[in-house]
């Protein structure tokens, strides 16, 4: 294998003098280096700076790795910007009089890197640094199989030699050609002075000149929402049944973290279903950080924490949404407004707390979906009916019957032809064009109105069941037989009569009723004393 250190290398060229020198949080010196510099220094690079101060990157697939290495061979790598922190330089330039705890923590983190033999912290270009080292040196990162050869044809050459470097390991390619690979220029933005905030701002505002999404910026936050949303949106069931199934375009697409964005929108409903604002970007920003990530002030402070109860409810509703969504027509679910409405339908149905619109429609209990296929069929039919209900403006004719109001079309395709006039205050517009508090309340009102008409039918047909419903006598009797008329903990035998009369015996929920589990297949006879002791806590002797 070629040794980059034995090959003559050009002098490093400085592109310009340092900029941002007046900004005390950040000083950057851009210099022109080459791929050889990356290879020689890859062992000195670290990539594990706290995720709160990095954008989250998905692993590169083989196809993307293949494409990048071909680009380097073809001489287009100079367009890439690598942002790399010189750790020792930053340590030397920290104000020695700054004794704030956040600064001390920052210094300790940097010193730990130095003690572990690291000289550089890679801010932008992590994947590229790792891939170049994989390809040229055959090393493996994080236990993954290294990318060691281009998977298809790639002809490169000089005046004297031309060859296909595809499907050939780097150390088998002639040195004359590998020199060309090493000599490919790259721009290194070298950070020589920084604060934690400066690095964080650099991370989320730079992306090789391409603006990053707002959801990407949220991933630079330090609240517990960051990891929660990422893990939830990429849950296999949720990803397959919701996002892969409908494949939303634009900023809602998976490659642009659209699935995380949609999950955040639905979480914003869960945070406050009585005053929902699904289009409030600033409020969603606040879930991820103490401030908008472009203006951070946190500096290693304790992250914001959101109540687990809210996150658990959201996760449960997202899982139910996935189970129902897999029975939806892909064409129907393609309009994400319907997905939002389906989520609100599920959340409101299972909501235990007081809700103004549930009270208005006389729905006082919480329900969980048992038959997602039946509910999916109902929702598709009822949603289409709600959308048509007041989509267009009508007026009454001389017989008192409603007729549509029409106006000449302004579209090129049917210019001048009479078309129905849309109602800007309709359920359809509220679902697909607006997402403010008033429009969302309109949607919830119509949903709950129709739910109320179906509740008794759904319960009797087993489509839904009441959350935390008391066990029936037949369920208690089944539990007695299952446990041979004995205490589930002590094994003490009881007569059928004493059990029926509850003389010292109660029926305990194995899975707690407060978490929404009902009595079905969930009961065991235990003594009153043990049941009081257990309450909603798992006893040591529970199996």
Whether 292 shows a pLDDT value over 60: the answer reads no
Q: If we measure between CA atoms, which residue out of 134, 138, 108 comes closest to residue 300?
A: 108
| 276 and 445 Cβ atoms separated by less than 8 Å | no
Percent of the chain scoring above 90 in pLDDT: 42
Whether 301 shows a pLDDT value over 90: the answer reads no
Mean pLDDT of 73-89: 85
Q: How confident is the model at residue 123 (pLDDT cuts 50, 70, 90)?
A: confident
SS3 content of the chain, % helix, strand, coil (to 5): 45, 15, 40
Q: How confident is the model at residue 4 (pLDDT cuts 50, 70, 90)?
A: very low
* Helix, strand counts (H, E) of the chain: 23, 16
**Average per-residue pLDDT for the chain:** 81
Q: How confident is the model at residue 536 (pLDDT cuts 50, 70, 90)?
A: very low
Mean pLDDT of 236-259: 91
Note the pLDDT of residue 36. Answer: 94
User: Which of the residue ranges 266-280, 449-463, 526-540 would you say has the lowest mean pLDDT?
Assistant: 526-540
CA distance 220 to 200: 7
| Residue 472 DSSP class | P
Whether 427 shows a pLDDT value over 90: the answer reads yes
Tell me the per-residue pLDDT of 322-359, one tens digit each, with 9 for 90 and over: 999 999 999 999 999 999 999 999 999 999 888 999 99
Note the pLDDT of residue 502. Answer: 63
As a whole number of Å, the end-to-end CA separation of the chain is: 59
Return the beta strands (E) in 199-310 as ranges.
none
Residues sharing a CB contact under 8 Å with residue 540, sequence separation 6 or more, in sequence order: none
Tell me the per-residue pLDDT of 515-529, one tens digit each, with 9 for 90 and over: 444 545 567 777 766
Note the pLDDT of residue 348. Answer: 96
CA distance 105 to 102: 5
Percent of the chain scoring above 70 in pLDDT: 79
List alpha helices for 351-436, DSSP H: 356-360, 372-389, 427-432
CA distance 253 to 250: 6
Note the pLDDT of residue 261. Answer: 94
CA distance 436 to 276: 8
Mean pLDDT of 363-367: 93
CA distance 172 to 178: 10
Note the pLDDT of residue 523. Answer: 73
Note the pLDDT of residue 137. Answer: 92
Note the pLDDT of residue 473. Answer: 66
Whether 140 shows a pLDDT value over 60: the answer reads yes
Note the pLDDT of residue 492. Answer: 78
Note the pLDDT of residue 222. Answer: 72
User: The pTM is what?
Assistant: 0.63
User: Which of the residue ranges 49-58, 72-81, 160-169, 465-474 would you say has the lowest mean pLDDT?
Assistant: 49-58
CA distance 427 to 442: 7
CA distance 110 to 190: 16
Tell me the per-residue pLDDT of 460-474, one tens digit each, with 9 for 90 and over: 999 999 986 655 666
SS (H, E, C) 430-464: HHHCCCCHHHHHHHHHHHHHHHHHHHHHHHHHCCE
CA distance 251 to 257: 8
Whether 535 shows a pLDDT value over 50: the answer reads no
Residue 19 bridge partners (DSSP): 28
């Amino acid at each position: 294998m070629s040794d980059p250190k034995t090959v003559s290398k050009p002098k490093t060229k400085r592109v310009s003098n340092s900029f941002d020198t007046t900004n005390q949080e950040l000083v950057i010196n851009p210099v022109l280096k080459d791929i050889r510099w990356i290879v020689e220094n890859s062992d000195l690079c670290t990539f594990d700076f706290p995720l709160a101060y990095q954008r989250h990157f998905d692993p590169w697939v083989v196809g993307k790795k293949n494409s990048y290495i071909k680009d380097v061979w073809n001489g287009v790598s100079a367009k890439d910007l690598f942002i790399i922190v010189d750790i020792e330089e930053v340590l030397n330039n920290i104000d020695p009089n700054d004794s704030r705890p956040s600064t001390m923590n920052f210094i300790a983190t940097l010193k730990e890197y130095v003690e572990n033999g690291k000289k550089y912290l890679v801010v932008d270009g992590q994947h590229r640094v790792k891939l170049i080292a994989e390809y040229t040196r055959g090393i493996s990162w994080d236990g993954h199989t290294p990318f060691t050869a281009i998977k298809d044809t790639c002809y490169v050459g000089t005046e004297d030699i031309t060859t296909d470097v595809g499907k050939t390991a780097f150390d088998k390619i002639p040195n004359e050609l590998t020199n060309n690979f090493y000599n490919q220029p790259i721009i290194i933005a070298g950070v020589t002075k920084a604060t934690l905030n400066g690095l964080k701002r650099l991370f989320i505002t730079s992306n090789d000149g391409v603006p990053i999404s707002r959801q990407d910026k949220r991933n630079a936050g330090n609240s517990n929402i960051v990891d929660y949303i990422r893990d939830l949106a990429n849950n296999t069931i949720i990803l397959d049944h919701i996002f892969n199934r409908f494949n939303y375009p634009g900023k809602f697409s998976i490659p642009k973290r659209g699935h995380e964005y949609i999950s955040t929108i639905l979480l914003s409903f869960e945070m406050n279903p009585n005053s929902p604002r699904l289009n409030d970007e600033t409020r969603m920003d606040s879930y991820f950080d103490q401030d908008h990530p472009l203006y951070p002030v946190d500096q290693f402070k304790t992250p914001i924490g959101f109540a687990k109860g809210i996150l658990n409810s959201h996760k449960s509703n997202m899982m139910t949404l996935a189970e129902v969504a897999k029975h939806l027509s892909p064409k129907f679910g393609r309009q994400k407004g319907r997905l939002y409405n389906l989520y609100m339908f599920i959340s409101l149905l299972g909501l235990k707390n007081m809700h103004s619109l549930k009270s208005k429609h006389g729905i006082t209990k919480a329900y969980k979906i048992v038959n997602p296929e039946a509910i999916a069929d109902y929702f598709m039919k009822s949603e289409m009916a709600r959308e048509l209900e007041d989509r267009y403006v009508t007026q009454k004719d001389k017989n008192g019957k409603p007729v549509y109001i029409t106006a000449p079309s302004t579209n090129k395709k049917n210019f001048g032809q009479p078309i129905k006039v849309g109602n800007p205050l309709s359920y359809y517009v509220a679902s697909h064009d607006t997402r403010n508090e008033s429009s969302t309340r309109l949607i919830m009102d119509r949903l709950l109105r129709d739910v109320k008409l179906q509740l008794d039918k759904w319960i009797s047909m087993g489509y839904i069941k009441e959350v935390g419903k008391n066990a029936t006598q037949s369920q208690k009797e089944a539990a007695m037989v299952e446990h041979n008329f004995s205490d589930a903990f002590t094994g003490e035998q009881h007569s059928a009569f004493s059990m029926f009369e509850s003389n010292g015996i109660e029926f305990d929920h194995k899975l707690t009723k407060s978490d929404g589990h009902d009595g079905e297949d969930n009961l065991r006879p235990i003594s009153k004393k043990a049941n009081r002791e257990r309450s909603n806590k798992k006893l040591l002797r529970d199996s």
